[in-house]
A and B are shown apart, each in its own frame.
Chain A
């Protein structure tokens, strides 16, 4: 990397090499790029100037190497080891095999899928709707978006606590309604302790437990402002002339939405979809403080499972194997995002 940057440093900031009409500037040596100026330390200066981007990038690369790249490889190594009293022992793919044989792993893959689908659908749907409303140049739009954004500023662990306080059995503000047997027969609904309903298809956890639905709503609540902002930014780049001319051509409102707005913001929708999936896969704070994976294992998603295998059961080898699986999924998602943004220019 280093040699690369050193040898091929073409600079854009310098005044473009003058042509005839700038001859006056061109003949004045002061305005020429450094490598053409005759100085005593020409070699050193040229070298420094050419390598400047490298020096600017070096600290970032070092920090990322220590905190991101090295831990990544360390985890890969760790996923092939197991802890013995005298140190780590190489066990090949045994960790992966044991992981795939865990019942809880298969179960939490199911939970993660249910969570992600619900979370993405709720957030994208609500986000698109609110963005459409905010896009009509209202006088109070600024106030609305500011108020809407407050949930995003709140830490995920606090958000989890706040939502937990709403449905604490007996005392939570919503518990009074939800635990009313007349509304939710036969015994009322206590979200944090209700057992999941019987799955329809084999072991796949659908329909989800009430706690999972609640977790989806709480997560969507916190992610919604960001998605609204993203969609609003995309909607505002659409020129009003396009919409007006299509209205003149006889398109009704739903046709404008379907054939004009939706195709134009599709790239943003996909970016939002990927970013939501990424944050949903990896976010653990909300699960941590809202349900802790419970009741039973009904909200145990992969990221929380990673935490409980690693730090709960102290099985770091197996946790590393799970971490590698999550990382691969993440990279696929990021590749997808990159492709979409590339296509979009």
Chain B
């Protein structure tokens, strides 16, 4: 009997914990869910007083699933599809957001993250495997560099950009400049994460391969790299999401419309559509969706890199 009540209590407790966690998840996702809902409403339903959660009410009933008035008006105005023969689906997306800004962000994030992985991998390997004097100081210095606030750097980079532009150099207001800035911003933490990952690979494995007659380059390519690959992938994904989500650097450093990243585009879009909430919501959903999907598929990598970076850094 005692055993029975004990198991009952334990099961009840488990149910309680599950219920609490489910409630927390719902609360945490509430803002996201409401935004997704708004993006599928018609303008008349968005600007109702008092507001309604689901656009499903009729004069007689407050919720009638058959009378829902869902709409894709917001998405239409973001994407602005026009019939066209040259596009695969028979229509072209003429909205600036998806014609210019998102491809820009994709390019910046991919190139900059690849560079971050390459540089952080090299530096992390050097610090983890070669015990030269001063490497602790070097790592501390790399961490200290992250202490310079983003806006402080941008202040100077903006001024440098102004000077460069005045001098007529092609570097400012160009893709090279912003990619370099992104690489510099996300490199320090990545070096720390990479060092952690290389530290976790046992040196004995490499020594064994050396004794068995592998060359040093062979050891790097055949032993170390395959083992470090998940870590490097994690660094890539973390940098990619961070650069995708970065707003203020792109906003301050880029002036030409054709070079703007997606977040800047969203901000522009906001000022043009300040009253059309369904359009803003649709733009938010469209820009946030790719990284959310990326995260859902590669969450283990993200968690690994974040714990590594936070505990060491």
Contact = CB atoms under 8 A, between A and B. Distances in A.
Nearest to A326: B149
Given A133-B17, A138-B17, A53 B277 contact: no
Interface stretch (A96-104, A191-199, A315-323): A315-323
A168 B211 CA distance: 68
A144 interface: yes
Interface string A251-279: 00000000000000000100110010010
Contacts of B34: 162, 165-166, 173
Main secondary structure of the interface of B (DSSP, over half): helix
A40 to B, nearest CB: 18
Contact of A13 (B46, B216, B247, B296): B216
Given A151-B28, A173-B51, A15 B287 contact: no
B28 A64 contact: no
Interface in A150-180: 150-151, 153-159, 161-163, 165-166, 168, 170-173, 175-176
A176 B247 contact: no
Interface residues of A, number: 104
Contacts of B210: 13-15, 31
Interface string A132-152: 011010101000111111110
Contacts of B32: 150-151, 154, 162
Interface stretch (A68-76, A108-116, A203-211): A68-76
Interface in A194-231: 221, 224-226, 229-230
Contact of B29 (A133, A147, A306, A324): A147
Nearest to A170: B49
Chain B interface residue bracket vs A: 35 or more
A8 interface: yes
B20 interface: yes
Nearest to B212: A31
Contact of A147 (B25, B35, B127, B184): B25
B47 A171 contact: yes
A72 B148 contact: yes
Nearest to A141: B21
Contact of B160 (A10, A74, A170): A74
Contacts of A306: 149, 151-152, 155
Nearest to A5: B132
B20 A9 contact: no
A163 B30 CA distance: 10
Contacts, number: 300
B287 A158 contact: yes
Contact of B303 (A68, A69, A147, A229): A229
A56 B126 contact: yes
Contacts of B185: 67-68
A176 B53 CA distance: 11
Among A9, A57, A78, residue most surrounded by chain B Cβ atoms (within 10 Å): A57
Contact of B53 (A5, A63, A173): A173
B244 interface: yes
A194 to B, nearest CB: 18
Contacts of B123: 56-57, 59-60
A66 interface: yes
Nearest to A180: B50
19 contacts: A1-B134, A11-B130, A15-B210, A60-B187, A67-B181, A72-B152, A78-B159, A133-B17, A153-B241, A153-B245, A153-B288, A157-B247, A158-B287, A158-B288, A162-B32, A229-B306, A271-B310, A320-B155, A334-B144
- Which A-B residue pairs are the 7 nearest by beta carbons? A67-B184, A71-B156, A155-B245, A56-B126, A323-B152, A74-B156, A53-B126
Given A9-B130, A68-B145, A288-B248, 18 more contacts: A13-B203, A13-B206, A13-B207, A14-B207, A25-B211, A31-B210, A57-B122, A64-B184, A68-B184, A72-B145, A146-B296, A147-B29, A158-B287, A162-B35, A162-B284, A284-B150, A284-B151, A326-B149
